[in-house]
Amino acid sequence: MTCIKKLPENVANKISAGEVVQRPASVVKELIENSIDAGADEITVVIKDAGKALIQVTDNGIGMSEDDALMSFHRFATSKIKDVDDLEHLTTLGFRGEALASISSVARVELKTRQQEEKLGALVKLSGGMLETVDKVQTKVGSSFSVRNLFYNVPARRKFLKTNTTEFKHIFETVQAQVLLNTDIRWKLISNDNEVFRIGSETIEQRMNLFFGQSFSESVFKVDEENDFMKIRGFLGKPAMMKRTKNDQLLFINNRITQNRMVSHAVMQAYGELLGEREYPFFLIYLDIDPKFIDVNVHPSKMEVKFEDERNVHNMILTIIKRAVSSMDFSPRINLTERPEYLQKTEQTDSGKSSFPGLQKRMNYNDRDQELLNRDNLYRDFKERISAVKPPHTPSEGLSFANDFINENQSEVESQSSTQMDFSKPETEQMEILIHSKPDDPERCQDEQAVWQLHNTYILTQIKSGLMIIDQHVAHERILYERAIEVIESDVPNSQQLLFPHVFHLKAWEEEVLHEVKPDLERLGFVLKIKPNQKVIIEAVPPEVKTGYEEKILHDMLSQYMIYQKELNLEIRDNIAKSYACRSSIMAGQKLSKPEMISLIDRLFATKMPYVCPHGRPIIIKLSIGEFDKMFGRT
């Protein structure tokens, strides 16, 4: 007596449905893809009770004959491929012939369809995979699938569906992805008899604004590049748009909605330090590649794609995205959206109500300008402003951010203009001093206007579009980080010999860490000898380390290294470079001379990424002259 038997078709379909139909959104995806394959340019999706009661997808595609309509509900019945060789040249979204059979096995399905040459269409009804009705019906050209009572005959599956809010979210995101992919199709989504959206001939930018918020498209930048192997185009989010989840990452490969960890990793790696801890970039990427180099037959849901040469594809995408990211100006721009309160009181509408209901100042890191300035333009603007005034008394070339970086006794500091305000005096007296003071040297007054330091923390300088503000600590941190990486990787000696070796003791855990990182510390420029009983002798240090701070810097670096190791899980060299940069850079509150500020800016714009520090914090922000005009009521 045999124990192995072939399962009945309806049972096999129910089992298969577990992979194809995971939730209502899965049904929506499969039916929409069938409509797209049918050549539709207008698709309407209607749902009730978050798809649990009804999912209806109607299109104006080519439709089906009655025989094809009946055949379409059989497993492995498809018009998309004929033999195995066709899998290497797929141009359609569907090809497995499983979706309709799976859907009809766990729901009540009704299909109305008609071809252009037919006067009457076909009506097919199934329940639980069993055929109930076949008839003629008056209907429009195209197809209309109605799926009711999903999982009615599989109570366990229905029980594990989430709340209506969650299921609707999945359906909405499924339709949203198709809308952003197929811009040549008109779309309509209706939920519980309420129209959620209707989209006609809107552009991709307008569609993004609809889904992600007004002016969203101005907060992304385009990528568009093609080579002999692939074509990549789409939109990438600026650093201010970083998210805590990967929900806003959309990847389309050969017009197919897909998920691929390798591609996501390449994009993440291209952003590099622009990403903060546990942050993910927005991207909407269309990737076109010869079908013979990919395999879409990985899972019944067809959401996964395998590449024939993943390493090559990864490197190509990384290079393209990195080039696009590095060419953009990501310095945040302050956007003061409303006028100050004292101006609002004088501006009344015809109804007597203030046209500005309240003071709303906010830092908007979405760059709203239509013109995107790249790093070179911004730096060129700064240098033009600097060169327009008399060169500083002390040349900035060759300045070292090391032992004498901050010198309170410099003549530059001592000979400050008499216009400098004394904050120990009353405000009215300060204003009198400012108004009546006359600089002794007009050329020096010009130099004073080139660059300023605010609270010994921020550097301010005028640019064509307004005002550029730089955080001196993170700017120097970026400079030191890139310098450290370069030195470590080049393995060229970069030490400054100490006149007398410095001896001190470490804690037990510090000694353990030091043994781990000592090779990279020595490449960076430290010359160390570890002796018994946690004793360390420092014989040389990198040039940037201030004299007398050798012990403190090393202690701080080891402590910072452990913090980064625990929180960010960085590789050793990157961790060393970031720890060194963080602990060796100038700090907020340290006074800089004009030449030192200019040299700092020069060195900042010579880095690969001058807009963010190694940890993702912004270095530069800009305030446009238009915002100043708003604040002072000039517009």
Whole-number Å distance between alpha carbons of 368 and 567: 34
Helices marked H in 525-571: 550-567
| 60 vs 114: CA distance, rounded Å | 10
Average pLDDT in the 199-206 region?
93
Neighbours of 256 (CB within 10 A): 18
Q: Under DSSP, is residue 382 helix (H, G, I), strand (E, B) or coil?
A: helix
What does the DSSP assignment read for 516-527? Answer: HHHHHHHHHT-E
Q: Which amino acid is at 383?
A: K
Domain with residues 341-474+590-631, CATH architecture: 2-Layer Sandwich (3.30)
Query: Which CATH number is associated with domain 9-201?
Result: 3.30.565.10
DSSP string for residues in 267-332: HHHHHGGGS-TT-B--EEEEEEE-GGGEE-TTSTT--B-EETTHHHHHHHHHHHHHHHHHTS----
- Distance, in Å, from the CA atom of 291 to the CA atom of 294, rounded to the nearest integer, reads 5
**Secondary structure class of 50 (helix, strand, coil):** helix
Question: 347 falls in which pLDDT band (50, 70, 90)?
Answer: very low
DSSP class of 339: -
| SS3 letters across 206-274 | HHHHHHHCCCHHHHEEEEEEECCCEEEEEEEECHHHCECCCCCEEEEECCEEEECHHHHHHHHHHHHHH
Give the model confidence (pLDDT) of 28-52 as tens digits: 999 999 999 999 999 999 999 999 9
Please give the CATH topology (third level) of the domain spanning 208-326: Ribosomal Protein S5; domain 2 (3.30.230)
CA quadruple 548, 550, 556, 557: dihedral positive or negative? positive
Closest CA to 604 of 486, 488, 482: 482
Q: Would you state the pLDDT for residue 629?
A: 85
Say if residue 205's pLDDT is above 80: yes
What average pLDDT does range 557-582 have in this prediction? 81
In the chain, what are the domain boundaries? Answer: 9-201, 208-326, 341-474+590-631, 490-584
Largest CA distance in the chain: 113
State CA 128 to chain mean position distance: 44
What are the Cα distances from residue 318, in Å, to 133, 241, 271, 387, 570?
A: 54, 20, 9, 38, 19
* β-pair type (466-471, 496-505): unpaired
- Give the fold, CATH level 3, of 490-584: Ribosomal Protein S8; Chain: A, domain 1 (3.30.1370)
pLDDT value of residue 618: 85
Q: Tokens 């038997």 — which residue?
A: 5
pLDDT digits (tens, 9 = 90+) for 436-483: 444 444 444 444 457 899 998 999 998 888 899 999 999 999 999 999
Tell me the two tokens of residue 537: 């002798």
Residue 404 has pLDDT above 60, yes or no: no
Q: Kindly tell me if the per-residue pLDDT of 590 is higher than 70.
A: yes
Mean predicted confidence (pLDDT) in 543-547: 85
pTM above 0.85, yes or no: no
Q: Output the CA angle 589-592-594, nearest 5 degrees.
A: 145
Best mean pLDDT range from 230-239, 405-414, 438-447: 230-239
Tell me the β-bridge partners of 188.
Answer: 44, 198
84, 205 contact by CB (below 8 A): no
SS (H, E, C) 125-150: EEECCEEEEEEEECCCCEEEEEEECC
Nearest-angstrom CA–CA distance, 478 and 30: 49
Average pLDDT of the chain to the nearest whole number: 78
Report residue 63: phi and psi, to 5°. 75, 180
Structure tokens at 444: 């020096």
* % of the chain with per-residue pLDDT over 90: 33
The pLDDT of residue 433 is: 39
381-394 tens-digit pLDDT: 676 666 665 444 44
pLDDT tens per residue across span 241-260 = 666 667 788 999 988 888 88
What is the Cα gyration radius of the chain?
33
Mean pLDDT score, 344-364: 34
CA distances from 61 to 44, 55, 182, 257, 385 (A): 12, 18, 14, 20, 61
Query: Of the candidates 178, 182, 31, which has an alpha carbon nearest to the alpha carbon of residue 113?
Result: 31
